[in-house]
Structure 1
Amino acid sequence: MFKKWFKSDAPKKPAAPEVMGLYLGGSFELDALKLKLLTPQLCIEGAASKHLIQAVGQAELDSGGTLLRFYTDDDAFLQVVLDGGMSENHITDVKLWYFYSTTTIGNQAQWQQCLNNEISRPTYELEGHSFSRVWDAVGEESPPVAVTEKTWEED
């Protein structure tokens, strides 16, 4: 009886999404030998084979799909795209991302310069590597799209 009076029912936080055994506070490991063999072809240095998941993000896409990001302890993230549900059966794409560089945009002219010459193009050249867009677009340009991401972090 007294438990009912003094019990504190703190509101429960919604749980971070999970898929493929990936979850907040968990980890994943890339094959170290494969990573070592691929490293000369990469534009980044120091890619880790072991990753600790320190945050999880979820964004709903206009297409009806869901974007999950598992942010790691070395400023990378594993991006998982799902379409039609939240199970492994609905995964359409998985990519490991590392930031190569970041740029501050201070005014409209800089933003327009970036749009016209740096992003939204079907191909991109970097350190002698040519990268092609992996998403569908109508025409040569694919303008940026605003996406709202809900994130969960470890306490």
Structure 2
Amino acid sequence: MWNRLFGNGSDAASPSVAVVRDITIGRQVRVDPLAWRRLPGAAFTLDRDTLEISAQGIIKLDEGGYVHRFYTDDELMLQAVSQKADGSDADDFTLFRPWTSTYPAGPWDTAFADRLRKPDWEEAGLPPYRRFWYPGDDREQPPVQLWEAVYWERDAAPVKHVKQACMLYARDVAEGGVVAGQELLLAIAMQPERGDLTHEIMVGLPLLPAEFSA
């Protein structure tokens, strides 16, 4: 899972996107359905095991390293974290699906931003989640700030840069008192340059390298 805190900054050094484990724009990714079927009662489910990648995002981390995001037309997101820009050493993989997307009531509406600082997250229709970052710390903490460059073509310039403030949460999923795995919740306040601010909730799960292929 994500074991590095994100920093802010945008990646505009190269118009070309990385190919991570053979995954990039225009390719298919097959995911083992057991990755979510083994989590009874999880909110994360999918009705297919093949992802058609139509867009790709890159985030450069202040501390070094990169976050690579691969999107489908219906906004499923496969994410990989690496130290190298080409993603060849990626070792941290997660898969997310959208849960809700809302607009703030106005510039004065800071409720979502305030929630991002809390150690727990409660969302309608979902069980409680505990903050994954800042483990063991129950104090309020600032959300992680980042910029994502989004591409629609492999060898073109990014179509947009998106400013994000986010926090990652997790919960154990158990069956018969035995923990079967973890489910993740990613809360994001996101705003493209010259675009509108939205509040995004995504649910997901960590993936092992053996659980997907392109």
Alignment deviations for residues 70-125 of structure 1 (CA, whole Å, 9 cap, x no partner): 01133211111223553443x352111111101211434312x2222x32322223
RMSD: 2.8
Q: Which residue of 2 aligns with 1:74?
A: 74
Q: Which residue of 2 aligns with 1:21?
A: 22
Identical residues among aligned pairs (%):
26
Check conservation: 2:25, 2:152, Cα contact below 8 A: yes
How far apart, CA to CA, are the structure 2 residues paired with 1:27 and 1:34? 17
1:32–1:44 Cα change, 3 Å: closer
Q: Higher relative CO (CA 8 A, sep ≥ 6), structure 1 or 2?
A: 2
Aligned with 1:100: secondary structure?
strand
Q: Which residue of 2 aligns with 1:6?
A: none
Higher relative helix content? 1
Higher relative strand content? 2
Check conservation: 1:35, 1:49, Cα contact below 8 A: no
Q: CA deviation at 1:45?
A: 4.9
How far apart, CA to CA, are the structure 2 residues paired with 1:69 and 1:100? 17
**Number of equivalent positions:** 139
Q: Which residue of 1 aligns with 2:157?
A: none
Check conservation: 2:18, 2:87, Cα contact below 8 A: no
How far apart, CA to CA, are the structure 2 residues paired with 1:52 and 1:46? 14
Aligned with 1:114: secondary structure?
helix
Q: Which residue of 2 aligns with 1:95?
A: 94
Q: Does 1:104 align with 2:97?
A: no
Q: Which residue of 2 aligns with 1:9?
A: none
How far apart, CA to CA, are the structure 2 residues paired with 1:47 and 1:62? 37
Aligned with 2:101: secondary structure?
coil
How far apart, CA to CA, are the structure 1 residues paired with 2:77 and 2:21? 15
1:150–1:85 Cα change, 3 Å: closer
How far apart, CA to CA, are the structure 2 residues paired with 1:20 and 1:96? 15
Q: CA deviation at 1:133?
A: 2.5
Q: Which residue of 2 aligns with 1:123?
A: 120
Q: CA deviation at 1:20?
A: 1.5
Q: Unaligned stretches of 5+ in structure 1?
A: 1-12
Aligned with 1:69: secondary structure?
strand
Q: Which residue of 2 aligns with 1:8?
A: none
Q: CA deviation at 1:21?
A: 1.6
Paired AA for residue 49 in structure 2: S
How far apart, CA to CA, are the structure 2 residues paired with 1:88 and 1:97? 21
Calculate the TM-score normalised by the size of structure 2: 0.55
Q: Which residue of 1 aligns with 2:57?
A: 57
How far apart, CA to CA, are the structure 1 residues paired with 2:134 and 2:85? 21
Q: CA deviation at 1:31?
A: 1.1
